[in-house]
Amino acid sequence: MSPAKKILLCISGSISAYKAASLASALKKNGHEVKIVATETALKFIGAAALEGITGQAVLSDMFNPAYEIPHINLSEWADLIVLYPASATTLARLRSGLAEDLLSAIFLSNNFRKPYWICPAMNINMLEHPAVQENLQVLKKWGARIIDPEEGILACGTTGKGRAPDPVKLAELIEASL
């Protein structure tokens, strides 16, 4: 097991958001400190209470939360690793465009790849294969993000193909090996 690290887990709005609880749990079991930032859409898929129970930390989503001074700057400076899991098509487009309209995307800009930034896309295969999404992933990779390929299998819509969020336990093992 690697020395304890500070991992910022960012969750965007995808049906796969529920898997973030398992990822946070696996990272905590490995001794890491985990903070979570979630988009408003992500919190429609998974409740903050479950994530807070696992991490022992409040889930952050509001860029203007008075309890945190300049949260997008402070969180990106705090983290040793930032993981976007799952990454929706909308969030990928927002990151690639440099739009900082929520806490998650403002953290992406303020980090500016000073710390490792991992992106785990998860969406329907047709969305994943769309040229806009593929181009966004290529640009983000070129800028310095590490793209973790989605897995193949039955997707939430019933289609079979590539687009599943990586298995959270396997991803935690990959993170552990890279630290």
Which residue bears the tokens 């303020």? 110
d(C-alpha 141, C-alpha 119), whole Å: 9
Range list of β-strands (E), the chain: 6-11, 33-38, 81-87, 117-121, 146-147, 151-154, 160-164
Calculate the CA dihedral of residues 134, 140, 142, 146 and round it to 10 degrees: -100
Helix or strand or coil: residue 19? helix
Lay out the sheet containing 6-11: strands in order across: 33-38, 6-11, 81-87, 117-121, 146-147
* DSSP summary character for residue 144: T
Catalytic residues: 157
